[in-house]
Structure 1
Amino acid sequence: MGYGDKELITFQKRRLRNSILIMLAAVPPSLLINKLWFFSAIPAFLYIWYSSYAKAKREYKAFRFNKQILFSRFMRLVMPYLKEKHNTNYGVFKRLHKRLDEKSELKNLLKL
């Protein structure tokens, strides 16, 4: 996904800020309407906290799944070339360069 420590810290701060804001927004009306509703702020806080975590986890799993699909597709392309005799890795990658359409695959291939 390409996220570093800075993005992770920003995400956690935004997640905490949103959860606290929802909790603070739920407290005054709950105190005015019914004192027992005050405790509804805690589940609201937990719900917002967990839902943002679950969303990030789903996105990461989808990203990881797509990377695995790309790698398996790359392996299916490269295996026949590698099994041929008198082939160098450079020659194989040069021929694969023409067949790859995904930009991230091309970048990774050029790094090799």
Structure 2
Amino acid sequence: MRVVNQGEKKNKFIRVFAEKNLYPILEEMGNTKKMIDKYQKKRIKQSILLGTFLLFLGLFISSYFYIAALILSFAFYKYKYKSIISQYTGWKFQRHLQFSKFTRLLIPYLKQNKGETSLYSIFNKILQRTENQEDKNSLYKLMTEMSNKPNDIQPFIDYANRSSGTDMSVLFMSTIFDYQQSSFDTSVIDELGKIASKELIHGIDEIINFKLRRFVFFPTKVVMSSFVIVLGFAIAVLLANLPDMQF
């Protein structure tokens, strides 16, 4: 019988309160379960501390702080989740851009060599020109798996998911695999070019949407920042005049 220690019980308990996709997206970004558990514990503790502080204010100022304790502690807990989603969106966006760079490097090499050079050798050339260490490790892993499983498409699909995760990237890498298996049929390069062009257009649209979202939310951030200052000033005035108030 497997004995479950106290630490595992605590981790299972805090995971119950985590959103369904919190652990998967953080793991996709390279975090271990231990790191995510630590983040989730900190997130819960911060929310409880905020609620406790507001409850404490409720004892001395107003019972309305009891309601604020529930609402604001829950809102803070959800805010931390929203910030993770925002980071994940930016991370996926950067991953997509890096994959687009890979396609722009690959297509010219394929056209230049016209099937006279192995795909492994072409990947090795791209590896030398890749600056991002995460991308280098991912491409090197693909090359290793290609050697171990020469007739398996899965390493190509895994690379697409690691690099971008879009349907277009999976289609692109699947076509690369077909290109390798079809004795380097150069007609496949034209199809790769079309896929790469669609991927590039999609990337440009993502850049535009990303910048538009930042521009739209900028006024909101300014207003919220001003609100925090005004709220702080109001609380300070309230506390300063509290002794003179008659209830």
**Residue in structure 1 matched with residue 124 of structure 2 by the alignment:** 94
Larger of the two Rg values belongs to structure: 2
The answer to whether structure 1 residue 54 and structure 2 residue 82 are counterparts is yes
List alignment gaps of at least 5 residues for structure 1: none
The match for 1:18 is: 46
Amino acid at match of 1:90: Y
Contact 1:26 1:38 in 2 (8 A): yes
Alpha-carbon distance in structure 2 between the residues aligned to 1:36 and 1:58: 32
Partner residue in 1 for 2:56: 28
Amino acid at match of 2:32: G
Contact 1:77 1:96 in 2 (8 A): yes
Aligned to 1:2: 30
Q: Report the count of equivalent residues.
A: 112
What CA deviation, in whole Å up to 9, does each residue of 1:34-72 have, x standing for no partner? 223311101110121011111111111111111111011
- Match of residue 44, structure 1, among 63, 66, 72: 72
Q: Which amino acid aligns with 1:106?
A: K
| Deviation (angstroms), 1:9 | 1.5
Residue matched to 1:70: 98
For the 8 Å contact 1:78–1:96, the answer to whether it is kept is yes
Q: CA RMSD in A?
A: 1.4
Once the two structures are TM-superposed, the CA of residue 99 in structure 1 deviates from its matched residue by: 2.1
TM-score, normalised by the number of residues in structure 1: 0.89
1:79 maps to what in 2? 107
Q: Which has the higher contact order (CA 8 A, sep 6+)?
A: 1
- Per-residue Cα deviation, 1:48-102 (whole angstroms, up to 9, x for no partner): 1011111111111111111111011101111222342212012201221232222
Structure 2: distance between partners of 1:40 and 1:91: 63
Structure 2: give runs of 5+ residues left out of the alignment.
Answer: 1-28, 144-247
TM-score, L = length of structure 2: 0.43
Name the structure with the higher helix share.
1
- Identity in percent: 26
Distance 1:105 1:29 in 2: 51
Q: Is the 8 A contact 1:81 1:87 kept in 2?
A: no
Deviation at 1:33, TM superposition (A): 1.2
